[in-house]
Structure 1
Amino acid sequence: MARILVADDEASLREFVHRALTHHGHDVVSVNDGAEALLELQRDPAFDLLLTDIVMPIMDGIALSLKVAKDFPDLKILLMTGYAAERQRAHNLDDLIHDVISKPFTLSEICGKVEEALVSEPGPGEGASTRDMGLIDKR
C-alpha cells in the first residue's frame, strides 16, 4: 500500500482516480489544484507518489512538479493531461517525473501507470533520466 496525493481540478476525474486507487489498496488524498497539493505536502510529506494534472488553476502541474522535485526530491511524480501540447511541455521535466498519462484513461491504465511509478528504480532525479530509462511515452 502506498500513500498517493492526487491533484486535479476536475471533480469527476479526481473522484474516479481516488476511488480506483483506494480500491487497489492505496491510501489516497485528493486536492483541487497544485497550491492545495503543495500545502498538503508541507503539512504531511509522507507520500510515495504525486499524481497531478498538468492544466489546473492557481498552480499547474508543471509548476507543482518543479517545486516538489526541489523540496521533496524522493517523491515520485506522475503527470496526467488531456492536451497534447501540455504533454510536450512535460518533456522538459524528464529528469523529475516518472511519466505522463494521457486522458482519457481507463481504470486499469491509471492503476498500471501508478504501479509502474511506485516500483520504478532509480527514481527520477536520482541520476537517471526518464527518457534514458525508456519511461516517457513519445506518442
Structure 2
Amino acid sequence: MRTARLRTVHPVLWAGWTALAAGAVLCVLGWYGVSGERFAERQLPYLASCTVPGAALIVAGAVLLTHGRGALAAARVEELYGLLVAAEPADEGPGQQASAPLAVSADRLMVPGGTLFHRADCPLVAGKAEAVPVDAKLVRSGELGPCPICEPAAADD
C-alpha cells in the first residue's frame, strides 16, 4: 500500500519543483526584457509572454508542492497506523483494556520524597534501590496517594 501511494506522490512533487523552476526562469526573462525597453508599450509583450505566465507557474508549483507533501505525510500516517493495527493483540477487542493489572505484588513501596505509593513490581519503582516500604500512617493520613499505573489501592483494599 505504501509504495503505491508514494509512486503517485513523487511525480506531484517533481511537477511542483519543475513548475517553480520554469516560473522563475520566465520571470527572470520577463524582467530582463522589460529592463531593456524604455517605453511602456514595448514592455507589455514581455509582461504578457513571460512575467505573468511565470508568476502563474510559481503559484501552481507552490500548490503542487503543498499537495504532494500533504499526501506524503498522509502516506506515512497510514503506514504507521497499519503497523499499530498489526501490533494489536488478537484476543482483545479494539476498545477493551487488559483485565489484569500491570503489577500484582501485595508489597507496597514508596520513593522517599515522593507523593505516591506503588506495588513492588510497578515499573516506576522496580529496580530502584532507594524505594522503601510504605508506612501505613502516611497512607491513612492521605500524604501518599495510589499510583495510577499499578493501582495498589484497588487490589489491596
Measured against the shorter chain, the TM-score band is under 0.3
Considering Cα pairs closer than 8 Å and 6+ residues apart, tell me whether 1 or 2 has the greater RCO: 1
Larger Rg: 2
Name the one with the larger helix percent: 2
Q: Which has the higher strand share?
A: 1
TM-score normalised to structure 2 length? 0.17
